[in-house]
Chains A and B, each alone.
Chain A
Amino acid sequence: MGLVASSKIRRATEAMVKSREYVASVQSVIERLASSRECMRSPYMQVRSSELSRTRIIVIAGDRGLAGGYNANIFRFTAAYAGAQFIPIGKRACDKFGEGILSAEHCTAADISTLSHRLCAEFASGEFDRLGIISTRYVSMLSQEPFIQWLLPLTKADGVPSSGTILFEPDEIDILNAAVPTYVTGLIVGAVRESFTSEVAARRTAMDSAGKNAAEMIDRLQLQYNRARQGAITQEITEIVAGAGN
């Protein structure tokens, strides 16, 4: 299992890097649009309430266990948002929170695009007030941490360079409204790829330490076995010698 995880790490890291590039490009465009005054009227920029009952949170966990504390850390983190409506991605998350996208490893951008278009339409029509994602940040091979990021409503970023002489067709607000589902898709895909990389890294670390523990245990048991065997032989010889002496 450790070997399988090792071979998956390279592919997972490549996918994560590609999605990060995409997220950075979409984010810079959205920030530029969101900083314009006209876009303040967009339904995606309306801050309504932060009540948990009107909050939806996408939870990304693994498809399998035996990945150290990977799944447990995510579920512990979700406890702080009890009362929100959870949308699970990954088999373990679906087992806990109900229907969702079953596989975090094999879900495609098209699956996520369908989900994000639906969520954006529901957000715009006022069915819920906040959308977040709980996923795992890949810090290094040895360290991964769960965190939450809020996708909707969009927040106005400070210090964004002005649009200069860019021509917007038809205007900023229409572009923003049409581009938000793409932005949400990008962020969810980015979070899924990063979480999967964290999962395989956590699994490899867990399997490595399990392998080391097993090797130590084998050494200790081998020593016990040899002692017991030696003790039994010594006792038998003592008995034979004692018997011969009589």
Chain B
Amino acid sequence: MNTFRLKISTPDGNVFDGQTAKLDLRGVGGELAVMAGHIPFMTAVKPGVCRVMDGDGSVRRGSSDGGLLNVSADGTTLLVGCFTWDE
């Protein structure tokens, strides 16, 4: 599976910075997924669960208080106020 660089950034530092196959979350317009090769895109993210899938298919779940998702050619950045992994 093709991967892309994802950075989940909070005011206390990056919670995640690495290669990912897919990111699922809830934007203001509804559920959405970002995969490798996505066009430059920006949306606001609602508070809730988001799922990060690695290249080998394993999925990690986390919760955020909402924020911004910015997809650009340099990589994808999820900017949130706070983020915790469910584990």
Binding site for B on A (CB under 8 A): 15, 18-19, 21-23, 25-26, 29, 108-110, 112-113, 116-117, 164-170, 174-175, 177-179, 181-182, 185-186, 189-190, 193
Contact = CB atoms under 8 A, between A and B. Distances in A.
B28 A178 contact: yes
A25 B77 contact: yes
B70 interface: yes
Interface residues of B, number: 29
Given A21-B9, A109-B12, A185-B11, A179 B44 contact: yes
B7 to A, nearest CB: 9
Contact of B12 (A26, A29, A117, A189): A189
B72 to A, nearest CB: 8
Contact of B66 (A19, A23, A178, A186): A178
A26 B68 contact: yes
B40 interface: yes
A166 B66 contact: no
Instruction: Classify the secondary structure of B's interface with A.
Output: strand
B48 to A, nearest CB: 13
Interface of B: 9-14, 27-29, 32, 39-46, 65-68, 70, 72, 77, 79-82
A113 B28 contact: no
B41 A25 contact: no
Closest 10 pairs (CB-CB, A-B):
A178-B44, A189-B11, A113-B81, A18-B13, A185-B81, A182-B67, A169-B43, A109-B82, A166-B40, A175-B44
Nearest to A180: B44
Given A29-B42, A166-B42, A167-B41, A175 B28 contact: yes
Contacts of A167: 39-42
A21 B68 CA distance: 15
Contact of B68 (A23, A116, A175, A190): A175
Contacts of A109: 10-12, 81-82
Contacts of A168: 41-43
B65 A174 contact: no
Contacts of B10: 22, 109
